[in-house]
Amino acid sequence: MNAIFADVPLFPERASTTAYQVDALFFFLCAVCGGMAVLVAALLLYFSFKYRRRGEDDRTPRITGNHRLEWFWTIAPLFVFVVMFVWGAKIYTSVSEPPPDAMEIFVIGKQWMWKFQYPGGERAIENLYVPVDQPIKLTLASEDVIHDFFVPAFRTKIDVIPGRYVQIWFRPTKVGEYHLFCSQYCGTNHSQMIGKVFVVERDDFRKYLDGRKATGSLADQGWQLFLKFQCNTCHSSNAEARAPVLEGLANNMVTLNNGKKVRADDGYLRESILNPEEKVVQGWQPIMPTYKGQANEEDIIKLLAYIKSLKPGQTPSRNENSSPPLDAPRVPPKEKIEPGDRKPPYQPEGQNGKP
């Protein structure tokens, strides 16, 4: 008997800071609710035994209620509920606000696989490697239907919704290998849209990334796309530019032509690529064509990484080195453009061991 049950887990592993918070609340809820359940069950059993019918001549008292008692059990639970609500809301809010030093990893869900893109441009499917004790912010997008990114050991879960970005963050606390599930039903192989999250030491993480041999960082790849889509035709830094300069734009406030102010976050940038006429920056004409159908979710993630990495004076100007028109036979642009044209756009905080 013991042998069978030795391997049966009864409680999931805890591998993130969130997991401890969620479990603490869960234990509290179990205690309160369990207490109530035991109380009700005990009363049911006790009354059933004590007041069982002893004969057809049993007399019962006429008790029709007791307002004080009834008001008590109407009002009293509310106080307990307030605690449950506030505690739960606190955890939930903290999970939706990533710390500023979080490392950003992009996740794309599609039927039926998970794709990951690291800031250094490394790509992976199915298995996500993250360094221990480092806050990780995931930005997630879906290419088809709603999926859900669920890591039980982290106690975090978020639906990945087509048409927009969602975010979640966690701080892994324990080295190990954990399940990754898609927990929103997404079709035939829903139950096989699974993977593993490997929490590894920082050094191992660096080694892992080195082994992925990226063709340039995410921002580098974005830069290639930027040229491929000829974004620099309009988004150039020179005087005759027909579109806003993108340098230093990301995550700052911009004023739209209807006077509203919005933050140029990932969602805004994504929308501006796919639905450019929707939120036009004040002072510019809505002339940009949509890139819907040309840029897929992965491309947009790369472009975003590039735009976010752009510092003043780094926008490539149009010259004879500019990339050929869209879909022309591609030569790696890195070799065509002089190194002096731009500075390396992105360095992932010295973690990236690449030259």
Q: Which stretch binds other proteins (CB under 8 A): 88-96, 237-245, 331-339, 342-350?
A: 88-96
Q: Which of residues 194-253 bind other proteins (CB under 8 A)?
A: none
Give the largest Cα separation in the chain, rounded. Answer: 107
> Which range touches other proteins (CB under 8 A), out of 69-77, 123-131, 319-327, 332-340?
69-77
Compute the least distance from the CB of residue 203 to other proteins, in Å: 29
Q: Cα(243)–Cα(17) distance, rounded to whole angstroms?
A: 43
Give me the least distance between CB of 340 and other proteins, in Å please: 37
* Structure-block tokens of residue 105: 């990893």
Q: How far apart are CA 89 and CA 70, in angstroms?
A: 29
Residues numbered 261 to 280 that lie near other proteins (CB under 8 A) are 262, 265, 267-268, 270-271, 275, 277-278
The answer to whether the beta carbons of residues 21 and 91 sit under 8 Å apart is yes
Which CB sits closer to other proteins, 120 or 195? 195
Binding status of residue 87 toward other proteins by CB under 8 A: yes
DSSP readout, 150-217?
EEGGGTEEEEE-BTS-EEEEE-B-S-EEEEEEE-S--STTGGG--EEEEEE-HHHHHHHHHHH--SS-
- Contact, 147 vs 112, CB < 8 A? no
Q: Looking at 166, 225, 303, 304, which residue binds other proteins (CB under 8 A)?
A: 166
Q: Containing H/E element for 109? A: strand 103-110
Q: Which stretch binds other proteins (CB under 8 A): 63-71, 199-207, 234-242, 319-327?
A: 63-71
Footprint of other proteins on residues 97-136 (CB under 8 A)?
111
Nearer to other proteins, 286 or 332 (CB): 286
283 binds other proteins (CB under 8 A): no
Give the shortest CB-73-to-other proteins separation in angstroms: 5
CB of 272 to other proteins, least distance (A): 9
Angle at 174 between CA 170 and CA 176, to 5 degrees: 105
Determine, following the binding rule CB under 8 A, whether residue 177 of this chain makes contact with other proteins: no
Looking at 113, 162, 175, 247, which residue binds other proteins (CB under 8 A)?
A: 162
By CB under 8 A, tell whether 148 contacts other proteins.
yes
**SS3 category, 107:** strand
Phi, psi angles (nearest 5°) of residue 110: -145, 160
Binding residue (CB under 8 A) for other proteins from 31, 43, 125, 331 = 43
